[in-house]
């Protein structure tokens, strides 16, 4: 995840404190990645109060249906036959006049644990409410992972279930599903559940069979074929894309290829730097660095400049500019020929 902003807590530190039952009166969970917010909130709901305490002391509210003054009155109530009262405010970004909640957060009740879920956005750090919560509670900012971080995240997630995953299979999931962690988590659960009894290792074949992603014909394999100048493989993939255009939109392929060749170009610019610095700057998983280095040997900076220009030209052609009749498949075939010749 992104670096911790000053005045906030990391995901790991937050989890450790909650497991040790070290509670704060107010929590603000915000950011554009809903997955981590949901995980932490679910843990709080399941662990703070005993089942027999939840009836009177656990409340789940929604921002668009909750009046800020009523929320403050509820938060000021003392728990019944319990050490804590737990209030979860979901979808807080939809709450009107949420800034007025500062009237409570400036002097919160120690026996109340108020959790504010503010998804797909953030409270401004210069506002009184943010500053007040930073003083009395904890602020966790849930940022989306970069695409290059997804394979490692998937590996860690499965490791907690005592399951391993092939690096290529993890990258295939990331390439197909993007960085939507809820979606990827669901697919990982599906893969784990469908593994044959006694097996604990997920391969690209498992991904292809159970999720519907072709392990041989995808953008990841196409860029790999281009990088290694495997002409036969590159054109096999292109012909598969031509035969299945709905499953392989040209705009997506062009975007993947653009990012790939830009990384190779930037790798040239980082020549002589430590590999760790190269990986960090390019956001390339370490286990794929050798592949990128091979591609850099196959494509000079000058050649890559020409490829980038070709990619832009064919992007325009795919949108009808200077193109009367060529299909997306024909355009991709022409482009790959230019790149790999």
Closest Cα to residue 171, out of 198, 202, 144, 150?
Answer: 150
Q: What is the pLDDT of residue 254?
A: 95
Q: What is the pLDDT of residue 283?
A: 85
Q: What is the pLDDT of residue 285?
A: 80
Closest Cα to residue 104, out of 19, 195, 25, 212?
Answer: 25
Rounded to 10 deg, the angle between the 181-194 and 34-47 helix axes is 70
pTM across the whole model:
0.74
Residue 334, class by beta-carbon neighbours within 10 Å (0-12 exposed, 13-18 middle, 19+ buried)? middle
- What is the SS3 assignment for 78? coil
Q: For residues 315 and 332, is the Cβ–Cβ distance under 8 A?
A: no
Q: For residues 57 and 82, is the Cβ–Cβ distance under 8 A?
A: yes
Q: Report how far apart, in Å, the C-alpha atoms of 272 and of each of 20, 204, 237 are.
A: 46, 34, 34
- What is the SS3 assignment for 341? coil
Beta strands 138-141 and 26-31 are parallel
Domains and CATH numbers, the chain: 11-141 (3.40.50.300), 147-211 (1.10.8.60), 219-340 (1.20.272.10)
Rg of the chain on CA atoms, in Å: 25
Residue 83, class by beta-carbon neighbours within 10 Å (0-12 exposed, 13-18 middle, 19+ buried)? middle
Rounded to whole angstroms, how far apart are CA atoms 131 and 170? 39
Q: Within a 10 A sphere around the Cβ of 306, how many other Cβ atoms?
A: 13
Q: What is the pLDDT of residue 7?
A: 64
* CA angle, residues 137, 138, 141, in degrees to nearest 5: 150
Q: For residues 41 and 115, is the Cβ–Cβ distance under 8 A?
A: yes
Q: For residues 63 and 91, is the Cβ–Cβ distance under 8 A?
A: yes
Q: What is the pLDDT of residue 3?
A: 45
Rounded to whole angstroms, how far apart are CA atoms 267 and 72? 54
- What is the SS3 assignment for 229? coil
Kindly give the confidence (pLDDT) of every residue in the chain, 341 residues in length, as a single tens digit, with 9 standing for 90 and above: 444 455 699 999 999 999 999 999 999 999 999 999 999 999 999 999 999 999 999 999 999 999 999 999 999 999 999 999 999 999 999 999 999 999 999 999 999 999 999 999 999 999 999 999 999 999 999 998 887 788 889 999 999 889 999 988 988 888 788 888 988 999 999 999 999 888 999 999 998 888 878 889 999 899 999 999 999 999 999 999 999 898 889 999 999 999 999 999 999 999 999 999 998 899 888 888 999 999 999 999 999 999 999 999 999 999 999 887 899 999 999 999 999 98
Joined tokens for residue 78: 């003392």
Q: What is the pLDDT of residue 5?
A: 57
DSSP state of 121: B
Q: 201 φ, ψ to 5°?
A: -135, 120
């Amino acid at each position: 995840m992104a670096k911790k902003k000053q005045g906030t807590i990391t995901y790991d530190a937050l989890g450790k404190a909650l497991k040790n039952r070290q509670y704060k009166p107010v929590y603000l969970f915000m950011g554009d990645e809903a997955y981590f917010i949901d995980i932490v909130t679910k843990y709080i709901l399941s662990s703070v109060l005993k089942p027999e305490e939840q009836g009177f002391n656990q409340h789940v509210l929604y921002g668009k249906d909750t009046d800020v003054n009523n929320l403050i009155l509820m938060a000021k109530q003392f728990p019944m036959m319990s050490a804590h009262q737990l209030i979860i405010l979901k979808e807080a970004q939809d709450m009107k006049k949420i800034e007025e909640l500062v009237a409570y957060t400036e002097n919160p009740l120690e026996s109340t644990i108020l959790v504010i879920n503010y998804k797909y956005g953030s409270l401004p750090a210069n506002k009184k409410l943010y500053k007040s919560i930073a003083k009395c509670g904890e602020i966790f900012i849930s940022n989306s992972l970069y695409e290059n971080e997804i394979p490692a995240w998937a590996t860690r997630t499965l490791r907690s279930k005592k399951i391993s995953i092939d690096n290529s299979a993890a990258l295939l999931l990331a390439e197909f599903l993007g960085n939507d962690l809820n979606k990827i988590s669901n697919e990982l659960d599906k893969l784990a559940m469908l593994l044959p009894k006694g097996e604990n290792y997920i391969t690209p074949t498992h991904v292809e069979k159970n999720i519907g992603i072709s392990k041989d014909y995808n953008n990841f394999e196409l860029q790999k074929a281009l990088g290694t100048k495997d002409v036969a493989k590159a054109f096999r993939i292109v012909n598969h894309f031509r035969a299945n255009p709905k499953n392989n939109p040209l705009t997506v392929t062009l975007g993947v290829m653009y990012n790939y060749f830009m990384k190779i170009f930037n790798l040239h610019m980082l020549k002589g730097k430590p590999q760790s610095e190269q990986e960090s700057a390019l956001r390339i998983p370490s286990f794929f660095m050798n592949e990128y280095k091979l591609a850099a040997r196959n494509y000079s900076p000058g050649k890559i400049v020409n490829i980038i220009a070709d990619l832009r030209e064919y992007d325009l052609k795919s949108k009808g500019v200077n193109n009367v009749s060529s299909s997306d498949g024909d355009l991709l075939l022409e482009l790959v020929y230019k790149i790999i010749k």
